[in-house]
Amino acid sequence: MNFAIIGATGNVGRKTLEVLEKSKLKVNKLFLIASNKSVGKKIRFKRKNITVQNIKEYDFSKADISFFAAGVKIAKKWVPKAAKKTIVIDNSKFFRMREDVPLIVPEANAHHLRKNKNIISNPNCSTIQLVLALKGIHDKYSIKRIVVSTYQAVSGAGKSAMDELTVQTKNFLSGKKIKSKNFTKQIAFNLIPHIDAFDLDGYTKEELKMEFETKKILGKKINLTSTCVRVPVNTSHSESINVEFVKRYNLKRIKDILKKTKGCKVIDQHKNGRYITPLEAEGDYKTYISRIRRDRTNQKAINLWVVSDNLLKGAALNSVQIAETLVKNKLN
């Protein structure tokens, strides 16, 4: 099969390239597309150098499946055109809430994939790790309400945001003046309770994305409220999650289900250090679950801590897994 990566030189594009190289997909030809400043660059893939092309001059019919990792503006302009000639797996938020576009986390809702659907949307990075961890226990006990606080790495805002964290950290430790370009406030040695634009009711669009996307993937009856926070960590998002079920539950059964959840790994001992932090999850395909415990104020609720590499399962890995699912089920 032939594949294309649009936005090949960005954070998610580069990770998609890495994951695709390690995947079981048979790649006959790979086309790499990026902005004008990257055109002509040579990128190594499976011992071959591939020249980066300009999107305006590229013929989308050359690829069977195309990964879009280039943001909303590019997706809005080019995905509809591309989808006439190739299957598009899009990482941007632009198509996620369209009823006719599947929003997919393969371990949770691969059954939503349909033949002849040429646009498939990759969910928000924070949504992916949330629904991945909760799908199995939702099937068993039916989730009524989720309260989640996210602690999101700067890589979710792009390479320039990562660079800003590095520069601000150096300047802070050197006693130099700190400037903020990518964030509303200083990010080094700080937390910012604000990701994406504010809506009229005080929620941010990031928080609303989590609510609407979770409902689309797991079910409309689930109520979800969130607070999304940017933290001075390069990679891996963390989530503190309170889950209320429709009925009372068995905690041992909950833990057994989580241990068997595909794509997840439970590290949960009530000892110093027997839990997962963002640094340990970086570069790992697994989504980690720790701090599983009863909510002492609600007999139908539990608390847990979920950590995942936002550039892998939160973006590139999930996209490639969608492609693998399409090929496996012959939906391409």
Active site residues: 125, 237
Q: SS3 sequence, the chain?
A: CEEEEECCCCHHHHHHHHHHHHCCCCCCEEEEEECHHHCCCEEEECCEEEECEEHHHCCHHHCCEEEECCCHHHHHHHHHHHCCCCEEEECCCCCCCCCCCCECCHHHHHHHCCCCCCEEECCCHHHHHHHHHHHHHHHHHCEEEEEEEEEECHHHHCHHHHHHHHHHHHHHHHCCCCCCCCCCCCCCCCCECCCCCECCCCCEHHHHHHHHHHHHHHCCCCEEEEEEEECCCCCCEEEEEEEEECCCCCHHHHHHHHHHCCCEEECCCCCCCCCCCHHHHCCCCCEEEEEEEECCCCCCEEEEEEEECCCHHHHHHHHHHHHHHHHHCCCC
